[in-house]
Amino acid sequence: MAQVSIREIREADVDAVFELLRDLAHHVGEGEKFDSSREDVRRDAFGPERHYATLVAEIDGRVAGLVVWFFTYTTYSGKRCLFVNDLIVADWARGYALGRRLMARVAAIAREHACARVDLHVHVDNDARGFYERIGMAQSNEVPYVLTGEALQALAESGET
């Protein structure tokens, strides 16, 4: 029987985490937008200004999945929220309920920190939407907007005087 565990990322996991993140970008059809590097993972997951937390799922000591998350805040309830930025399970590791286990751990962290909710964004054509609904997540009435590239630059420059 395979040994499954969930734990916090270690620096020795950087290569495996990078590969999973790159795989996720390709899986959702955005591989051409993936500009991250192993050094970005190392700096932002471990550096002096850590930007996010990562939990990894292992099967028999091999990294098989991950969840990347960070805290946000809702002024409506005056509480923290936990935002799941990435969740991925390697194809070879399907069938071990790793996605559910990772999200259960995230839910426990959210509860420990008295978070109002757990948020995530899902591509409309991502087949994982059914999984999220099965674990109790629901669509919100909010629509995510993004500001990137030239539009970001133009808006920033418009405010400079």
Q: What is the pLDDT of residue 27?
A: 87
Instruction: Using the structure block, give the residue that is written with the tokens 């969740």.
Output: 87
Model-level pTM? 0.92
Q: Is the predicted pLDDT of residue 161 greater than 80, yes or no?
A: no
Instruction: Using the structure block, give the residue that is written with the tokens 């500009």.
Output: 35
Query: 9-63: per-residue pLDDT in tens?
Result: 999 999 999 999 999 999 888 899 999 999 999 999 998 889 999 999 999 999 9
Task: Please give the domain boundaries of the chain with CATH numbers for all domains.
Answer: 4-158 (3.40.630.30)
DSSP-assigned beta bridge partners for residue 53: 69
The whole-chain average pLDDT of the chain stands at: 95
Q: What is the pLDDT of residue 36?
A: 96
State how far the Cα of 141 lies from the Cα of 24, in Å rounded to an integer: 26
- Determine how β-strand 118-120 pairs with β-strand 79-89: parallel
Using CB atoms within 10 A of its CB, is residue 76 exposed (0-12), middle (13-18) or buried (19+)?
Answer: exposed
Q: How many CA atoms lie within 13 A of 82 on its CB side?
A: 22
Q: Is the predicted pLDDT of residue 68 greater than 70, yes or no?
A: yes
- Report, as an integer, the average pLDDT of 83-105: 97
